[in-house]
Structure 1
Amino acid sequence: MLSVRDLRVGFRTRSGVVPAVDGVDLDLYAGEVLAIVGESGSGKSAMSMSLVGLNRGPRTMISGTAHFRGIELISASERQLRSVRGKHIAVVFQDALAALNPLHRIGKQVAEMITLHQKVSGRRAKDMAVQMLGDVGISNPRHNAEAYPHQFSGGMRQRAMTAIALANDPTVLIADEPTTALDVTIQAQILDLLKSLQRELGTAVVIVTHDLGVVADIADRVAVMYSGRIVEIGTTEQVLYAPKHPYTRGLLASTPGVTGPIPASLPTIPGSPPMGAERPDGCSFAPRCAFVLRECATTPILASHDPSDSGHQDACWLGELTIPVPDESRSTL
């Protein structure tokens, strides 16, 4: 459905170009939920927003290809992107309060998305907006359609954002940290909503998150990003229960367990990810890796090291070397 090749996103700064995304290859299949995970600054949002042209600007450098239904998104004009955004590829943003227009009622904002892409009357669009708000779980939708964003709770705003994104039955939904700043009860409700809508509409979902619990609950496949590159990709079971890359293993090991004794402290990954224009030669994770080899001075290629483990790829020179993962990391999944 969506094929991304050699995607690169850089931001010009006084100290040079910061490579937010550094040569990503990725495929999205119809009806699947693909999770993009990694620390803050790993390039998750920069990659996903570049697919719909939402981070274009005079200081942004974007190259590569992203093919969707015969359209090349990276080189597409703004007019072409407008015909795709909201209709075929929709976005649920991280901060719904910032994304929603504070001066317009919720129902009007949903209806506006409908009239932009469908030839319907204003009255019909309003009725469709009310129905969409009900479909995403907002109670008394006709009444709440007249409310302003500040009158909604955080969970209701996120539902309203989801209603806007799904108003035109898109084939791809990009959810950028959709559960951030929500309490665990509302998080579960939003995830259940995304799963049910994905099943009913057959929408392919790209969910950007750093929460491994969210990944375990909703994703079919997982791509782990570090320093602008995908370092491991596979099914949720492959990546979370049989991780191969040291970075993935470090993320899992630092996740608190929900069973067993309470540890005095959790394992951590030493150091910090590279954030500026200067990046180390070879593997970007090498300065923080406990298993660094001489070969790590050369950039590893994302590839499968086990023919029997179909679709599970990692970018590491360790290959099939076994690295123990603490049991505590598995207990959360």
Structure 2
Amino acid sequence: MTASEAARDVTAPETAHDTTASEGVHDARPPEAVLEVRGLSVGFDVPAGRLPAVDGVDLTLRRGEILALVGESGSGKSALSMSLVGLNRGPRTHIAGSVSFGGRELVGASERELRRVRGKDVAVVFQDALAALNPLHRAGAQVAETIRAHGDVPRATAAHRAVELLGEVGIAGPARAARAYPHQLSGGMRQRVMIAMGLANDPAVLIADEPTTALDVTIQAQVLALLKRVQREHGTSVLLITHDLGVVAEVADRVAVMYAGRIVEQGTRDEVLFDPQHPYTMGLLGSVPPLHGPLPERLPAIPGSPPAGVARPSGCGFRPRCGFAQDGCESRPELRRRHGGPAHLDACVLPAEARMRARAAQAAGAAV
């Protein structure tokens, strides 16, 4: 199944679940944590005040898993991921909380300490490969530079390894591609170069920020298959930032749904996609075209817009857009287990009957 087909099929009740992954969460002890985020907050100074991009997020990335971070544009996904290794530090940026990697605290670490971690232990694949790659240097030279930045490796050895990496990520004619400049490569090849740079030092964590954006469906499927192979063969933990539910259905082991800077639902892929508990998650799934049956004339949409300014609604951030909001939603809900397995958490105080009505509205194609 391609990513686009999976996107259309996530709400189909007859879809067969991949029970192996979800059942393993209950039957075996979960893998050890590689990256632990506790109470992370990120704010940016803007003319109107301080913009709360990330608001007290707790998140755990386990060894050898793909964790998808999902949400609309502006929900804080990229701000969170870049703050993990201090890539958005600056005089107008305020980062608080804890990011622990292998017992090392990254929030508050010096720039020198972070440079030892970036690209070696934690690597980043950026959304726009053409903008991220240096247009004045050949692709192979940029991969080789990543290798030499974290080890005393001769130039010739690094150049040879760069060609090997380009071949490992599926580039046909890797030696020729190594001699090319970024603008001479296709979008899919540039993204593969970025992944090769990320894998150059065999990192424990790979942060992939919208790695399939602007790629056609065929190339997108190839990139996703590559990420799965990296996870399987290298044991790499992947934090996948995306807004595409098809991508989530294709590769994710666990899913965290983000809205207005907070995690509102978290669980295994099947729990979140097939048994959503937060109305925001239901709204996202309801906006996906169905794979089976006639297409609706107009897809349902979540009313209103996400909060964009410095002022945020009190209590549940989704309350102004939720058709099932109640008085209890005026208090800030905590992310905790309210239904399902121990790994399925949500930040919604609605009682069971209100959630059932929201699920029915989603199934009927109405706005949540």
Q: What TM-score, normalized to structure 2?
A: 0.88
Identify which of 116, 119, 132 aligns with 1:99: 132
Q: Which residue of 2 aligns with 1:303?
A: 336
1:305 and 1:319 in contact (8 A); partners too: no
Q: Which residue of 2 aligns with 1:120?
A: 153
Q: Which residue of 1 aligns with 2:347?
A: 315
1:110 paired with 2:143, answer yes
Identical aligned residues as a percent: 62
Separation in structure 2 between the aligned mates of residue 110 and residue 36 of structure 1, nearest angstrom: 27
Ranges of 4+ aligned residues in structure 1 off by more than 6 Å: none
Residue 318 of structure 1 aligns to which amino acid in structure 2?
L
Residue 179 of structure 2 aligns to which amino acid in structure 1?
E
1:33 and 1:206 in contact (8 A); partners too: yes
Q: Note closer, same or farther for the CA distance 1:240–1:328 as it changes in structure 2 (3 Å cut).
A: farther
SS at match of 2:114: helix
What's the CA shift string for 1:39-92, capped at 9, x where partnerless?
000000000000011100111110000000121011111000000000000000
The alpha-carbon deviation at position 320 of structure 1 amounts to 3.1
Separation in structure 1 between the aligned mates of residue 66 and residue 359 of structure 2, nearest angstrom: 28
Q: Which residue of 2 aligns with 1:324?
A: 359
Q: Which residue of 1 aligns with 2:322?
A: 289
Separation in structure 1 between the aligned mates of residue 185 and residue 64 of structure 2, nearest angstrom: 30
Identify which of 21, 41, 46 aligns with 1:13: 46
Identify which of 295, 299, 314 aligns with 1:262: 295
SS at match of 1:26: strand
Separation in structure 2 between the aligned mates of residue 319 and residue 90 of structure 1, nearest angstrom: 41
Separation in structure 1 between the aligned mates of residue 312 and residue 363 of structure 2, nearest angstrom: 33
Identify which of 173, 184, 188 aligns with 1:140: 173
Identify which of 98, 107, 110 aligns with 1:77: 110
What's the CA shift string for 1:222-278, capped at 9, x where partnerless?
000000000000000000000000000000001111221111111110000000001
Using CA pairs under 8 Å that are at least 6 residues apart, name the structure with larger relative contact order, 1 or 2: 2
Separation in structure 1 between the aligned mates of residue 335 and residue 110 of structure 2, nearest angstrom: 31
Identify which of 162, 169, 187 aligns with 2:195: 162
Residue 172 of structure 2 aligns to which amino acid in structure 1?
S
Separation in structure 1 between the aligned mates of residue 255 and residue 236 of structure 2, nearest angstrom: 17
Q: Note closer, same or farther for the CA distance 1:202–1:221 as it changes in structure 2 (3 Å cut).
A: same
Structure 2 unpaired stretches of 5+ = 1-33
Separation in structure 2 between the aligned mates of residue 99 and residue 212 of structure 1, nearest angstrom: 25
Separation in structure 2 between the aligned mates of residue 182 and residue 53 of structure 1, nearest angstrom: 28
Separation in structure 1 between the aligned mates of residue 200 and residue 363 of structure 2, nearest angstrom: 43
Q: Which residue of 1 aligns with 2:225?
A: 192
1:209 paired with 2:242, answer yes
Q: What number of residue pairs does the alignment pair up? A: 328
1:222 paired with 2:255, answer yes
Separation in structure 2 between the aligned mates of residue 218 and residue 328 of structure 1, nearest angstrom: 27
SS at match of 1:194: helix
Q: Which residue of 1 aligns with 2:80?
A: 47
Residue 331 of structure 2 aligns to which amino acid in structure 1?
T
The alpha-carbon deviation at position 328 of structure 1 amounts to 7.9
Separation in structure 1 between the aligned mates of residue 364 and residue 148 of structure 2, nearest angstrom: 50
Structure 1 unpaired stretches of 5+ = none
Q: What TM-score, normalized to structure 1?
A: 0.97
The alpha-carbon deviation at position 327 of structure 1 amounts to 4.2
Q: Which residue of 2 aligns with 1:22?
A: 55
What's the CA shift string for 1:279-309, capped at 9, x where partnerless?
1111110000011010111100000013x52
The alpha-carbon deviation at position 324 of structure 1 amounts to 2.1
Q: Which residue of 2 aligns with 1:242?
A: 275
Residue 51 of structure 2 aligns to which amino acid in structure 1?
V
Q: Which moved more, 1:117-126 or 1:85-94?
A: 117-126
1:257 and 1:328 in contact (8 A); partners too: no
SS at match of 1:102: coil
Separation in structure 1 between the aligned mates of residue 136 and residue 66 of structure 2, nearest angstrom: 34
